[in-house]
Amino acid sequence: MGEYSILIGGKAGEGINTAGLSIAGLFSRLGYRTYMYFDYPSLIRGGHNFAIIRASERTIGAHRTPVDVLLAFDQNSIDNHRERVHDGTTVIYDASQVVRAEGYGLPLDQIIEEEKAPPITGNSAMLGALARVAGIGREVLEDVLRATVPAKHLEANLRVAGRGYDAAGDVFTVEPLGVPALPVLTGNEVTGLGLVHGGLDSYVAYPMTPTSNLLHFLAAHAQDLAIKVLHPENEIGVILMALGLAYAGEKAAVGTAGGGFCLMTEGLSLAGMSEIPVTIVVGQRPGPSTGMPTYTTQGDLHFVLNAGQGEFPRFVVAPGDLEEAYAWSATALMLSWKYQVPSIILTDKTLAEGAYSFDIGAVRAPPDREPALWDGTGEYRRYARTEDGVSPLAFPGRKGAVVKVNSYAHDEAGITTEEAEDVTALQEKMLRKGESLKAELATYPVVKVYGPRNTAKTIVCWGSEKSACIEAAEKFGARVVQPLVLAPFPVRAWKEAMIGAGRVACIENNVTGQLARLLRQQGFDPGRPVLKYDGRPFAVDELEARLEEVFA
Q: Is 297 exposed, middle or buried (0-12, 13-18, 19+ CB in 10 A)?
A: buried
Q: Rg of the chain's alpha carbons, rounded to an integer?
A: 25
Give the H or E element holding residue 254.
strand 252-257
523-532 pLDDT, tens digit per residue, is 999 999 999 9
pLDDT tens across 397-422, in order? Answer: 999 999 999 999 999 999 999 999 99
Picking from 493, 204, 209, the residue whose alpha carbon sits closest to that of residue 353 is 209
Distances (CA, A) of 319 to 33, 294, 425, 449: 19, 20, 35, 14
Share of the chain above pLDDT 70, in %: 100
Rounded to 5°, angle at Cα 310 from 306 and 315: 45
The pLDDT, as a whole number, for residue 1 is: 57
Q: What is the mean pLDDT of the chain?
A: 96
Report which of 165, 162, 120, 263 is spatially closest to residue 205, judged by C-alpha positions.
263
Longest dimension (CA), the chain: 83
Band of residue 2 on the pLDDT scale cut at 50, 70, 90: confident
- In our burial notation (b when 16+ CB lie closer than 10 A, e otherwise), range 333-364 reads bbbbbbbbbbbbbbbbbbbbbbbbbbeeeebe
Average of per-residue pLDDT across 363-379: 94
What's the pLDDT score for residue 148?
Answer: 87
Domains of the chain: residue spans and CATH: 3-167 (3.40.920.10), 184-362 (3.40.50.970), 447-551 (3.40.50.920)
- Give the predicted TM-score (pTM) of the model: 0.96
pLDDT classification of 45: cutoffs 50, 70, 90: confident
- Quote the percentage of the chain above a pLDDT of 90: 95
Q: Which helix (H) or strand (E) holds 282?
A: strand 278-284
Give the model's pLDDT for residue 552. Answer: 82
E strands, 397-494, in order: 447-450, 457-460, 479-483, 485-487
